[in-house]
Chain A
Amino acid sequence: MYHTFEVDGVDHKLWLSPCRQGNRLHLTDQVIAPVKFVSHNDSCGLLTIAGEAEPVRVVVDGDVLHVLIRGRTRTLRYRDPLRTLASVAGQDNSLVARAPMPGVVLTTTVSPGQSVSAGMALMMIESMKLETIIRCPQDGVVDRIHFEEGDSFERDAVLVTLTKEGR
């Protein structure tokens, strides 16, 4: 799994590997070696890249690096895969309708194979003497209804699963 840095809204993959005299930098379209960075103080350093030495001014602010090289300033943001990948694919989560709390199924208003749209009522549940409508999270087709009328379920239980249409 490569490391990713975002620059000007574009993600760039890279990998650093050790080599004699420093490191090898693997980019999508090229490999540069050796690369080395020597810090002179908090914000000053010298970058050696493929034999060329470039003075660098840099300030690191968490995962964000503000870098000035040869009169040009850019901001690079390290995209930690644990964070960036965790937020993706929330979409698949919405193929299920979960119980917000433990309860009992009162009535089911859809049946398997039925086309449903986001926001449509799927079933009515009762919990703590309150009646709640479970709504469809996104457009799709009802795959399975996991509880029958009168069944009880736990919090977070999957009440209804959907499949995406036409897939």
Chain B
Amino acid sequence: MYRIRFHGRGGQGMKTASRILGTALFLEGYEVQDAPRYGAERRGAPIFAFVRADDQPINERGIITRPDLVIVADDSLVPVPAAGVLAGVDEHTVLLINSDENAGTWQHRLNLRCRIVTLPAEAGDRAELRFIGATCSGAAARLLGNISRESLQQAIGEELADLGSAVVANNLNKALAAYDSMQAQAGCVHPREETDASAYSRPAWIDLPFDTARVSAPDIHAAANSVEVRTGLWRTLRPVIDYERCNRCWWVCSTFCPDGAIRVEDTTPEIDYDHCKGCMVCVAQCPPHAIEAIPEQQAQEAVT
């Protein structure tokens, strides 16, 4: 059985990417299972998605703990513990990272013995960000080596049909280019040996100790602690105010901001980037169009 895991941020199209790959494998005659996994839905938060493919009906479900292929659409997720990008990655796994740093750098940085393949990062270019899901699925299809160009093409057509032919065509171009770019690595992903029931590592079960309610009730004692949660990390697009254009209306952007992340000081609005989730409501609402949306990565590079 092939076990494939996608990692990205909410809004980057990982669910769609997993479905494109799932459909392509299904078209190739495999039994398939694909599923996204996320908590409370939110843009920019780490999400992951699974694809399993086998030549017989699939009984296994849920979390993939020993992946054959891991696809990372956003390299900023690698160091985020909650994203669990490297969970179960071993020398058998192929790790595909969308990054403008090369495979050697990642190999050195992560000190992993697995094969690392990089997709030349395009996320920095805002116009390309929309296609990262399709790009990842195209590259993954070629790394698996069992999906024809035609099946990939058909899968994208089916999965994106509701979005219209122009969107399909753009995604198709990106996916096929990524597919072709992986030619040298085609077929480098292989299913691993199934777990052997006669030689397995026993689960370290414990008898859960009793804790009093003072310890074991799920209470939060810290007041106003939402400030500590830097929801700004979820942002993929950053709203940036052009103070030349801002007419100091003092209220529109700050009122519409659903997170109260815009403060107005003497009629001048200021965005709290630690807590702005990048929803772009302010960008849409600003009457003089004084707020621009810039890809987060690009914005960070400009600052540093």
A-B complex is real: no
**Which residues of A are in contact with B by a Cβ distance under 8 Å?**
none
